[in-house]
Amino acid sequence: MRRLLIASVLLLAPAPMFASASGGMGTHLEEADINLADKESLERGAGYFVDYCMGCHSLKYMRYNRMGEDLGLDEVRIRQDFIFDKETKPGDLMVSAMRPKDGEKWFGTEVPDLTLVTRWRDSDWVFTYLKSFYVDESRPYGVNNAVFPDVGMPHVLAGLQGLQKAVYTEAEGGHHSALEGFEPVQPGSLSTKEYDGVVRDLTNFLTYAGEPIKLERRRLGFYVLGFLTILFGLAYLLKKEYWKDVH
Protein backbone atom coordinates (compact mmCIF):
# COMPACT_ATOMS: atom_id res chain seq x y z
CA MET A 1 0.00 0.00 0.00
CA ARG A 2 2.82 2.39 0.88
CA ARG A 3 4.55 1.75 -2.44
CA LEU A 4 1.28 2.32 -4.29
CA LEU A 5 0.78 5.64 -2.48
CA ILE A 6 4.32 6.79 -3.33
CA ALA A 7 3.86 5.83 -6.98
CA SER A 8 0.59 7.77 -7.14
CA VAL A 9 2.22 10.87 -5.67
CA LEU A 10 5.08 10.69 -8.18
CA LEU A 11 2.66 10.36 -11.08
CA LEU A 12 0.46 13.24 -9.96
CA ALA A 13 3.22 15.59 -8.85
CA PRO A 14 4.06 16.91 -12.33
CA ALA A 15 0.38 17.71 -13.04
CA PRO A 16 0.50 21.33 -11.76
CA MET A 17 3.65 21.97 -13.79
CA PHE A 18 1.99 20.79 -17.00
CA ALA A 19 -1.17 22.73 -16.17
CA SER A 20 0.77 25.97 -15.69
CA ALA A 21 2.67 25.35 -18.92
CA SER A 22 -0.54 25.40 -20.95
CA GLY A 23 -0.45 29.19 -21.10
CA GLY A 24 2.04 31.84 -20.09
CA MET A 25 1.42 34.29 -17.25
CA GLY A 26 -1.44 32.15 -15.92
CA THR A 27 -3.54 32.77 -19.03
CA HIS A 28 -6.78 30.83 -19.18
CA LEU A 29 -7.20 29.09 -22.53
CA GLU A 30 -10.48 29.93 -24.24
CA GLU A 31 -12.46 27.19 -25.93
CA ALA A 32 -12.01 27.39 -29.69
CA ASP A 33 -15.35 25.71 -30.42
CA ILE A 34 -14.27 24.65 -33.91
CA ASN A 35 -16.25 22.49 -36.33
CA LEU A 36 -14.26 20.44 -38.86
CA ALA A 37 -17.46 19.64 -40.75
CA ASP A 38 -18.02 23.34 -41.51
CA LYS A 39 -16.41 23.59 -44.95
CA GLU A 40 -17.23 27.27 -45.31
CA SER A 41 -15.31 28.00 -42.10
CA LEU A 42 -12.40 25.88 -43.32
CA GLU A 43 -12.33 27.72 -46.64
CA ARG A 44 -12.33 31.11 -44.91
CA GLY A 45 -9.58 29.89 -42.57
CA ALA A 46 -7.50 28.74 -45.52
CA GLY A 47 -7.86 32.19 -47.06
CA TYR A 48 -6.77 33.88 -43.82
CA PHE A 49 -3.77 31.56 -43.58
CA VAL A 50 -2.65 32.31 -47.14
CA ASP A 51 -3.20 36.06 -46.73
CA TYR A 52 -1.71 36.61 -43.26
CA CYS A 53 0.44 33.62 -42.27
CA MET A 54 1.95 32.02 -45.34
CA GLY A 55 4.41 34.83 -45.92
CA CYS A 56 6.45 33.26 -43.10
CA HIS A 57 4.86 29.92 -42.16
CA SER A 58 4.46 26.80 -44.29
CA LEU A 59 2.14 23.81 -44.29
CA LYS A 60 4.74 21.47 -45.74
CA TYR A 61 2.61 18.35 -45.34
CA MET A 62 -0.46 19.79 -47.12
CA ARG A 63 -0.99 20.10 -50.86
CA TYR A 64 -3.24 22.72 -52.43
CA ASN A 65 -5.26 20.18 -54.40
CA ARG A 66 -5.74 17.93 -51.34
CA MET A 67 -7.16 20.90 -49.46
CA GLY A 68 -9.32 21.78 -52.47
CA GLU A 69 -10.66 18.24 -52.76
CA ASP A 70 -11.60 18.11 -49.09
CA LEU A 71 -13.26 21.54 -49.18
CA GLY A 72 -15.04 21.03 -52.49
CA LEU A 73 -12.92 23.52 -54.47
CA ASP A 74 -11.96 22.97 -58.08
CA GLU A 75 -8.58 23.86 -59.60
CA VAL A 76 -9.86 27.20 -60.88
CA ARG A 77 -10.89 28.28 -57.36
CA ILE A 78 -7.60 27.06 -55.92
CA ARG A 79 -5.58 29.10 -58.41
CA GLN A 80 -7.81 32.12 -57.99
CA ASP A 81 -8.01 32.25 -54.19
CA PHE A 82 -4.89 30.52 -52.86
CA ILE A 83 -2.09 30.61 -55.45
CA PHE A 84 -0.65 33.99 -56.36
CA ASP A 85 2.26 33.15 -58.65
CA LYS A 86 2.62 31.36 -61.97
CA GLU A 87 5.25 28.84 -60.84
CA THR A 88 3.20 27.15 -58.09
CA LYS A 89 0.91 24.31 -59.17
CA PRO A 90 -2.20 22.93 -57.40
CA GLY A 91 -0.30 19.70 -56.72
CA ASP A 92 2.50 21.48 -54.86
CA LEU A 93 2.95 21.59 -51.12
CA MET A 94 1.86 24.76 -49.30
CA VAL A 95 5.38 26.01 -48.63
CA SER A 96 6.34 29.57 -47.73
CA ALA A 97 8.75 31.43 -49.97
CA MET A 98 10.75 32.66 -46.97
CA ARG A 99 14.07 30.90 -46.48
CA PRO A 100 14.86 29.45 -43.02
CA LYS A 101 18.02 31.57 -42.68
CA ASP A 102 15.98 34.71 -43.32
CA GLY A 103 13.61 33.71 -40.52
CA GLU A 104 16.53 33.33 -38.15
CA LYS A 105 17.89 36.73 -39.21
CA TRP A 106 14.59 38.62 -38.89
CA PHE A 107 12.96 36.85 -35.93
CA GLY A 108 15.91 35.35 -34.06
CA THR A 109 14.83 31.76 -34.70
CA GLU A 110 13.72 29.51 -37.54
CA VAL A 111 10.04 30.10 -38.29
CA PRO A 112 8.12 26.91 -37.50
CA ASP A 113 5.98 24.96 -39.92
CA LEU A 114 2.35 25.04 -38.76
CA THR A 115 1.00 21.80 -40.21
CA LEU A 116 1.03 20.07 -36.82
CA VAL A 117 0.70 23.07 -34.51
CA THR A 118 -2.68 21.94 -33.15
CA ARG A 119 -1.31 18.43 -32.61
CA TRP A 120 1.59 19.43 -30.36
CA ARG A 121 -0.31 22.32 -28.83
CA ASP A 122 -4.09 22.13 -29.25
CA SER A 123 -6.88 24.14 -30.86
CA ASP A 124 -7.71 26.08 -27.68
CA TRP A 125 -4.06 27.14 -27.31
CA VAL A 126 -3.86 28.43 -30.90
CA PHE A 127 -7.21 30.24 -30.59
CA THR A 128 -6.20 31.98 -27.36
CA TYR A 129 -2.69 32.73 -28.64
CA LEU A 130 -4.02 34.62 -31.66
CA LYS A 131 -6.17 36.75 -29.35
CA SER A 132 -3.51 37.46 -26.72
CA PHE A 133 -1.03 39.85 -28.32
CA TYR A 134 -0.54 43.03 -26.32
CA VAL A 135 1.58 46.17 -26.57
CA ASP A 136 5.08 45.78 -25.11
CA GLU A 137 7.61 48.40 -26.18
CA SER A 138 10.49 46.30 -24.83
CA ARG A 139 9.99 43.72 -27.58
CA PRO A 140 11.55 44.07 -31.07
CA TYR A 141 8.16 44.33 -32.81
CA GLY A 142 6.45 46.26 -30.02
CA VAL A 143 4.16 43.40 -28.95
CA ASN A 144 4.27 40.43 -26.62
CA ASN A 145 1.91 37.52 -26.09
CA ALA A 146 0.27 36.39 -22.85
CA VAL A 147 0.16 32.73 -23.94
CA PHE A 148 3.69 32.65 -25.38
CA PRO A 149 5.80 35.20 -23.46
CA ASP A 150 8.67 36.88 -25.35
CA VAL A 151 7.45 35.50 -28.66
CA GLY A 152 9.46 36.70 -31.67
CA MET A 153 6.44 36.90 -33.97
CA PRO A 154 4.88 40.27 -34.85
CA HIS A 155 1.12 40.68 -34.48
CA VAL A 156 0.22 40.13 -38.13
CA LEU A 157 -3.52 40.38 -37.40
CA ALA A 158 -3.21 43.75 -35.63
CA GLY A 159 -4.94 45.49 -38.51
CA LEU A 160 -8.01 43.35 -37.84
CA GLN A 161 -7.94 43.16 -34.05
CA GLY A 162 -6.29 46.45 -33.24
CA LEU A 163 -3.88 46.89 -30.34
CA GLN A 164 -4.50 46.15 -26.67
CA LYS A 165 -2.60 46.45 -23.42
CA ALA A 166 -2.33 43.86 -20.67
CA VAL A 167 -4.09 44.55 -17.36
CA TYR A 168 -2.69 42.90 -14.22
CA THR A 169 -3.84 42.38 -10.68
CA GLU A 170 -1.45 44.22 -8.40
CA ALA A 171 0.47 42.42 -5.67
CA GLU A 172 2.23 43.93 -2.65
CA GLY A 173 5.02 46.30 -3.60
CA GLY A 174 3.35 47.22 -6.88
CA HIS A 175 4.63 44.14 -8.71
CA HIS A 176 2.53 42.51 -11.41
CA SER A 177 0.84 39.41 -10.08
CA ALA A 178 -1.44 37.82 -12.67
CA LEU A 179 -2.91 38.78 -15.99
CA GLU A 180 -6.46 40.00 -15.48
CA GLY A 181 -7.33 40.80 -19.08
CA PHE A 182 -6.79 43.32 -21.87
CA GLU A 183 -7.87 46.87 -22.58
CA PRO A 184 -8.10 48.24 -26.14
CA VAL A 185 -5.52 50.85 -27.11
CA GLN A 186 -6.13 51.21 -30.84
CA PRO A 187 -9.18 49.80 -32.66
CA GLY A 188 -8.86 47.46 -35.60
CA SER A 189 -11.05 47.08 -38.66
CA LEU A 190 -13.16 44.37 -36.99
CA SER A 191 -15.28 44.23 -33.87
CA THR A 192 -14.33 41.82 -31.08
CA LYS A 193 -16.97 39.34 -32.23
CA GLU A 194 -15.88 39.56 -35.85
CA TYR A 195 -12.23 39.08 -34.92
CA ASP A 196 -13.12 36.05 -32.81
CA GLY A 197 -14.79 34.61 -35.92
CA VAL A 198 -11.65 35.16 -37.99
CA VAL A 199 -9.45 33.50 -35.37
CA ARG A 200 -11.90 30.62 -35.00
CA ASP A 201 -11.90 30.00 -38.77
CA LEU A 202 -8.09 30.14 -38.87
CA THR A 203 -7.81 27.74 -35.92
CA ASN A 204 -10.36 25.45 -37.55
CA PHE A 205 -8.29 25.31 -40.74
CA LEU A 206 -5.02 24.65 -38.87
CA THR A 207 -6.73 21.84 -36.94
CA TYR A 208 -7.91 20.33 -40.22
CA ALA A 209 -4.41 20.66 -41.73
CA GLY A 210 -2.93 18.73 -38.80
CA GLU A 211 -5.15 15.71 -39.51
CA PRO A 212 -7.28 16.02 -42.68
CA ILE A 213 -8.66 12.49 -42.21
CA LYS A 214 -9.87 13.09 -38.65
CA LEU A 215 -13.63 13.09 -39.36
CA GLU A 216 -13.33 10.02 -41.61
CA ARG A 217 -11.23 8.25 -38.98
CA ARG A 218 -13.89 8.88 -36.36
CA ARG A 219 -16.65 7.72 -38.70
CA LEU A 220 -14.82 4.49 -39.48
CA GLY A 221 -14.14 4.01 -35.77
CA PHE A 222 -17.87 3.67 -35.04
CA TYR A 223 -18.19 1.02 -37.76
CA VAL A 224 -15.21 -0.87 -36.34
CA LEU A 225 -16.64 -0.78 -32.81
CA GLY A 226 -20.02 -1.95 -34.12
CA PHE A 227 -18.37 -4.82 -36.00
CA LEU A 228 -16.40 -5.86 -32.92
CA THR A 229 -19.56 -5.80 -30.81
CA ILE A 230 -21.36 -8.10 -33.25
CA LEU A 231 -18.30 -10.34 -33.52
CA PHE A 232 -18.10 -10.60 -29.73
CA GLY A 233 -21.76 -11.65 -29.57
CA LEU A 234 -21.27 -14.31 -32.24
CA ALA A 235 -18.10 -15.57 -30.59
CA TYR A 236 -19.89 -15.82 -27.24
CA LEU A 237 -22.78 -17.80 -28.75
CA LEU A 238 -20.30 -20.07 -30.56
CA LYS A 239 -18.44 -20.65 -27.31
CA LYS A 240 -21.67 -21.66 -25.56
CA GLU A 241 -22.53 -24.04 -28.39
CA TYR A 242 -19.13 -25.73 -28.31
CA TRP A 243 -18.98 -26.09 -24.53
CA LYS A 244 -22.60 -26.94 -23.72
CA ASP A 245 -21.89 -30.70 -23.62
CA VAL A 246 -18.83 -30.21 -21.41
CA HIS A 247 -20.75 -28.20 -18.81
C-beta contacts of 137-141 below 8 A and 24+ residues apart: 140/108
Query: Tens digits of per-residue pLDDT, 86-120?
Result: 899 999 999 998 887 888 888 878 899 999 999 99
Q: What is the pTM of this model?
A: 0.80
Output b/e per residue, 23-51; b: 16+ Cβ within 10 A.
Answer: bbbebebbebebebeeeebbbbbbebbbe
23-211 is classed CATH 1.10.760.10: yes
- At residue 141, the 3 state secondary structure works out as coil
The pLDDT, as a whole number, for residue 173 is 60
Residue 23: strand pairing partners: none
Query: Tens digits of per-residue pLDDT, 16-41?
Result: 333 334 455 557 899 999 999 999 99
- Where the chain has pLDDT below 70, the residues are 1-26, 171-177, 247
The pLDDT, as a whole number, for residue 23 is 54
